[in-house]
């Protein structure tokens, strides 16, 4: 079953440098159907959904380690194998010396119209990933961006509007 986020809800989590969960808010636990004890210290891929292309997470990690923020539409899987879509912003948290000490993500309800574009795009990326690998899958995305003459951020932010 697909669970929908409410309009005013936001889901928050923090991780250490390796993506292990160090904090979640209550809405996170409610949506993911896990208790705090089941989440703390676990890799964030505990809620990874198999419909998500690997290329999206590769781009995510390559970007946040550079201290650049990422916007992404992500499908997550709950403990009871339900799923929910989010519009996520993910950033690095730095100390006063500018060193990364962890990562932080806030998610909101995605624009349903955006998912009409994202779902077939991810499906195509996943197919390409299975036959030709992650780089070829990422190229599906970059080819679309080149065709539209826009950046990844411009695409994602425009879809959410």
Which residues in this chain contact ligand FMN in the complex, by CB under 6 A?
A: 13, 15, 19, 44-45, 47-48, 52, 54, 57, 74, 76, 90, 103-105
- Please provide residue 9's backbone torsions phi and psi, each rounded to the nearest 5 degrees: -80, 150
Q: How distant, in Å, are the alpha carbons of 11, 72, 87, 107, 141 from that of 120?
A: 25, 15, 16, 21, 12
Beta strands in the chain (DSSP E): 11-15, 21-24, 70-77, 83-94, 100-108
| Residue among 35 and 146 whose Cβ is closer to ligand FMN | 35
| Residue among 28 and 140 whose Cβ is closer to ligand FMN | 28
| Minimum distance of ligand FMN from residue 28's CB (angstroms) | 9
Query: How many CA atoms, within 13 angstroms, populate the side-chain half-sphere of residue 47?
Result: 26
- Please provide residue 6's backbone torsions phi and psi, each rounded to the nearest 5 degrees: -80, 155
| Minimum distance of ligand FMN from residue 156's CB (angstroms) | 15
| Minimum distance of ligand FMN from residue 60's CB (angstroms) | 6
| Residue among 44 and 140 whose Cβ is closer to ligand FMN | 44
User: Residue 27: how many CB atoms within 10 A of its CB?
Assistant: 15
CB of 109 closer than 8 Å to CB of 117: no
| Minimum distance of ligand FMN from residue 117's CB (angstroms) | 20
| Residue among 52 and 156 whose Cβ is closer to ligand FMN | 52
């Amino acid at each position: 079953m697909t669970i929908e986020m409410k309009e005013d809800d936001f889901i928050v989590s923090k991780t250490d440098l390796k993506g292990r969960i160090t904090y979640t808010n209550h809405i996170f636990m409610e949506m993911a159907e896990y208790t705090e004890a089941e989440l703390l210290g676990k890799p964030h891929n505990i809620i990874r959904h198999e419909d998500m292309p690997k290329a999206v997470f590769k781009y995510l990690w390559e970007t946040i380690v550079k201290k650049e923020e990422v916007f992404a539409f992500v499908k997550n899987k709950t403990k009871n194998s339900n799923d929910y879509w989010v519009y996520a912003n993910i950033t690095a948290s730095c100390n006063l010396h500018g060193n990364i000490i962890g990562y932080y993500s806030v998610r909101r309800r995605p624009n349903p119209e955006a998912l009409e574009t994202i779902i077939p795009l991810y499906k195509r990326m996943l197919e390409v990933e299975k036959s030709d690998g992650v780089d070829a899958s990422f190229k599906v995305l970059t080819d679309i961006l080149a065709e539209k003459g826009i950046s990844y951020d411009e695409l994602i932010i425009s879809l959410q509007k």
